[in-house]
């Protein structure tokens, strides 16, 4: 039997995920809803938040993702309770991976759905409270299937992505129709010029 690749924290959150939306819990008092991912590539995430005075008081989520997606979203759901929406908006997948005690390199991309669904839910809440786009940095969508932007590509570059494979591992982009590849690689090469570091093979 091969060694288990995941940390004890990942195992704990995978086998006992917190704050999962149960089918028999339709009465959860959500005033914010976020959804991300694409069912065609097997991962989709729904996040519901109960927010009072800009503080997240409760959360439920549901995903069709893998063990890493489940564990990272379970961890996310724990840390955002009691958090101001402005702070929650800045949580990044790297923060979750660190709290989980790491993930195998090829599973890092599975941790990107939760924070995206979270930001989508907060955007929904801001729109409902007359503050549309308050925390949004101007960005351009590069991967329309998964809602991945130039900011996500820049962030992946800063975290070491230098080729298409690494970019996909970091963001999941291109895993549905693949049409975003050329645009994404042009961007990656652009960042290599801006930051003075070489991009790798296409």
| Per-residue b or e along 65-88, where b marks 16 or more CB atoms closer than 10 Å to that residue's CB | bebbbbbbbbbbbeebbebebeeb
CA distances from 176 to 21, 32, 154, 179 (A): 26, 27, 21, 9
| 110 assigned to active site | yes
Whole-angstrom distance, CA of residue 38 vs CA of residue 147? 9
| 145 assigned to active site | no
Q: Taking the complex as a whole, how short is the minimal distance between the CB of residue 182 and ligand FES, in angstroms?
A: 11
Site for ligand FES, rule CB under 6 A: 143-146, 173-180
Looking at the Cβ atoms of 107 and 172, the one nearer to ligand FES is 172
Q: Taking the complex as a whole, how short is the minimal distance between the CB of residue 151 and ligand FES, in angstroms?
A: 15
Whole-angstrom distance, CA of residue 198 vs CA of residue 182? 17
Looking at the Cβ atoms of 29 and 178, the one nearer to ligand FES is 178
Q: Taking the complex as a whole, how short is the minimal distance between the CB of residue 185 and ligand FES, in angstroms?
A: 12
66, 110, 143, 145: which one is catalytic? 110
Whole-angstrom distance, CA of residue 43 vs CA of residue 154? 23
Token pair for 71: 């564990």
Looking at the Cβ atoms of 48 and 142, the one nearer to ligand FES is 142
Looking at the Cβ atoms of 71 and 143, the one nearer to ligand FES is 143
Q: Taking the complex as a whole, how short is the minimal distance between the CB of residue 174 and ligand FES, in angstroms?
A: 5
Residues that are catalytic: 41, 110
């Amino acid at each position: 039997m091969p060694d288990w690749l995941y940390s004890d924290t990942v195992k704990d959150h995978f086998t006992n995920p917190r704050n999962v939306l149960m089918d028999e819990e339709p009465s959860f008092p959500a005033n914010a809803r976020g959804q991300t991912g694409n069912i065609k590539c097997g991962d989709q995430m729904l996040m519901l938040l109960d927010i009072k005075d800009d503080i997240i008081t409760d959360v439920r989520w549901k995903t069709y993702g893998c063990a890493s997606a489940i564990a990272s979203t379970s961890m996310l759901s724990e840390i955002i309770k009691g958090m101001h929406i402005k702070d929650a908006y800045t949580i990044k997948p790297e923060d979750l991976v660190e709290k989980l005690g790491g993930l195998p390199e090829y599973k890092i991309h599975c941790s990107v759905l939760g924070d995206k669904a979270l930001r989508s839910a907060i955007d929904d809440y801001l729109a409902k409270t007359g503050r549309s786009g308050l925390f949004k940095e101007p960005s351009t969508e590069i991967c329309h299937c998964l809602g991945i932007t130039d900011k996500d590509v820049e962030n992946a570059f800063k975290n070491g992505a230098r080729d298409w494979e690494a970019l996909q591992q970091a963001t999941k982009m291109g895993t549905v129709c693949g049409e975003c590849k050329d645009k994404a690689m042009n961007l990656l090469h652009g960042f290599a010029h801006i930051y003075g570091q070489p991009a790798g093979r296409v």
